[in-house]
Each structure stands twice: as structure tokens, then as C-alpha cells.
């Protein structure tokens, strides 16, 4: 049962409890939250109080209502929701600049903290990229490339960096799709392989330098294709 305090209204307390369920993963992204009667009984609150709390979380970007279907979790945190709204107004070049900052640091940290399991995961992702390129399957290549970047970030063992990168993954996917095309994949496979080899060898500076190279290649590809000044909604 909720405990009343002098600082927070009942609506704020309910919203905070629901937000905690979302951030802890008990209510995962894509999940439909329990029906109103169930939540009212569990929280011991009125329908109006519950609905106000839900409206607050919808406004924050954590929940969304589907007419006639229910209310669903659409972001794992308020930060993630805010980033997603901001990303919707950016372009490929700006996304690449942010990727440069995050992925360069992730590669450097991964070289210091990676485990044998991390190394095996990165090598498996790289192999999946190579197989997709051999099959000329660009969709599979993009998917494997995203998994490779996530594996590198995970190997950093920096929880904040991992969470932040996870919130940007849709933008990362759009930027990868925009610049990785059949015919230029060999260039990226080379630099990606260099990143992985440097991380496994625990050579942080070399890993960071390889990230810099593939981001610069991506910027040039973006400029040569749609042009760096043209805004591409992600």
C-alpha cells in the first residue's frame, strides 16, 4: 500500500512506483501494463488518481495508449524518451558525431575491461557481418553490424555508457543503414576487424583510432550520397 508523505501527492507517488517498475525492467518496453482494476486494487487508489499518474507517464514518454487495446511501455526511462524525441529531429552526420564520441570511448574501455566471453561475442558478431557481406545480404549485414557495436559497448562494462548507447540504438541503426551499402562493406569490415583485434590485444589507443577511421569513412559516404547538409529524419 502507498504511504502518504508531506512532499509528494498521491498521484506523484503512484507515478513514481510505476516508473520504478519500468526502469527495473519488470515492465519491459513493448509490454502492456495491467488493466486499471488490477492496478487500482494493487495500489489502493481511485481510478482518477491512477489515470492522472498514467497521463503523467504518457507525457514523460514512458507510456503510450493504443485506442481500444490498452496502455503500453514505450521507453525504459525518462532519459530514453527525451533522447528519442531529440533524435527524431537530427540528421545522419550529427548521429555519426555522437557515435564517434560514445563508440571511441567504448572501444578504449573495452580494451581495458573485456573478458574472454566479451571477446568471443565480438568475434561472433564480426563473423556474422562477414557472412552477410559474402551473401550480399545488406539487411542481415546491418543487423549484425548493430550487434557488433552493442557487443563492443557491452565489453566496456560501463553501465551508464551501455544504457545511454541502448537509448540511441534506433538512431545508430538508421545511420548504419544510410552508409553501409553493398559494394562498400569491405572497407567497414576491415576497420571493424581492426577494432576487435585491438580490443582483444588490450590496445586501447589502437581500438579508438580504428573507431575514428570507420566514423570518418561513414561521414564521407554520407556526404557523397545524400549530402551532409541534407537532413535525414531518423
Domains of the chain plus CATH, in order, are 10-80 (1.10.10.10), 90-223 (1.20.120.530)
Residue 228 above 50 pLDDT? Answer: no
What are 41-53's pLDDT values in tens digits?
Answer: 999 999 999 999 9
Task: Check residue 233 and give its pLDDT.
Answer: 27
d(CA 232, CA 234): 6
Work out the pLDDT band at 179, boundaries 50, 70, 90: confident
Task: Check residue 197 and give its pLDDT.
Answer: 97
Residue 229 above 70 pLDDT? Answer: no
Task: Check residue 23 and give its pLDDT.
Answer: 83
d(CA 83, CA 196): 28
Task: Name the most confidently modeled range: 16-25, 115-124, 186-195.
Answer: 115-124
Work out the pLDDT band at 234, boundaries 50, 70, 90: very low
Of 17-21, 103-107, 133-137, 173-177, where does mean pLDDT reach its minimum? 173-177
What are 113-165's pLDDT values in tens digits?
Answer: 999 999 999 999 999 999 999 998 989 999 999 999 999 999 999 999 998 89
Q: What are the phi and psi torsion angles at 63 (to 5°)? A: -125, 155
Residue 170 above 50 pLDDT? Answer: yes
State the sign of the Cα–Cα–Cα–Cα dihedral 153, 154, 158, 159.
Answer: positive
d(CA 30, CA 140): 23
Amino acid at each position: 500500500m502507498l504511504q502518504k508523505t508531506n512532499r509528494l501527492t498521491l498521484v506523484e507517488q503512484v507515478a513514481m512506483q510505476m516508473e520504478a517498475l519500468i526502469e527495473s525492467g519488470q515492465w519491459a518496453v513493448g509490454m502492456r501494463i495491467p488493466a486499471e482494476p488490477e492496478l487500482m486494487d494493487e495500489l489502493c487508489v481511485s481510478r482518477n488518481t491512477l489515470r492522472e499518474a498514467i497521463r503523467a507517464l504518457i507525457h514523460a514518454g514512458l507510456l503510450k495508449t493504443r485506442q481500444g487495446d490498452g496502455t503500453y511501455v514505450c521507453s525504459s526511462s525518462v532519459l530514453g524518451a527525451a533522447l528519442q524525441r531529440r533524435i527524431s529531429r537530427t540528421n545522419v552526420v550529427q548521429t555519426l558525431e555522437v557515435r564517434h564520441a560514445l563508440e571511441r570511448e567504448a572501444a578504449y574501455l573495452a580494451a581495458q575491461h573485456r573478458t574472454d566471453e566479451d571477446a568471443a561475442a565480438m568475434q561472433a558478431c564480426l563473423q556474422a557481418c562477414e557472412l552477410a557481406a559474402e551473401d550480399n545480404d545488406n539487411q542481415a549485414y546491418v543487423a549484425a553490424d548493430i550487434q557488433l557495436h552493442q557487443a563492443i559497448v557491452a565489453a566496456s562494462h560501463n553501465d551508464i555508457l551501455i544504457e545511454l548507447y541502448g537509448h540511441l540504438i534506433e538512431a545508430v541503426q538508421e545511420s548504419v543503414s544510410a552508409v553501409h551499402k553493398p559494394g562498400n562493406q569491405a572497407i567497414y569490415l576491415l576497420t571493424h576487424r581492426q577494432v576487435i583485434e585491438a580490443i582483444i590485444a588490450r590496445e586501447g589507443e589502437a581500438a579508438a583510432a580504428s573507431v575514428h577511421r570507420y566514423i570518418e569513412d561513414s561521414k564521407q559516404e554520407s556526404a557523397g550520397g545524400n549530402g551532409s547538409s541534407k537532413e535525414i529524419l531518423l
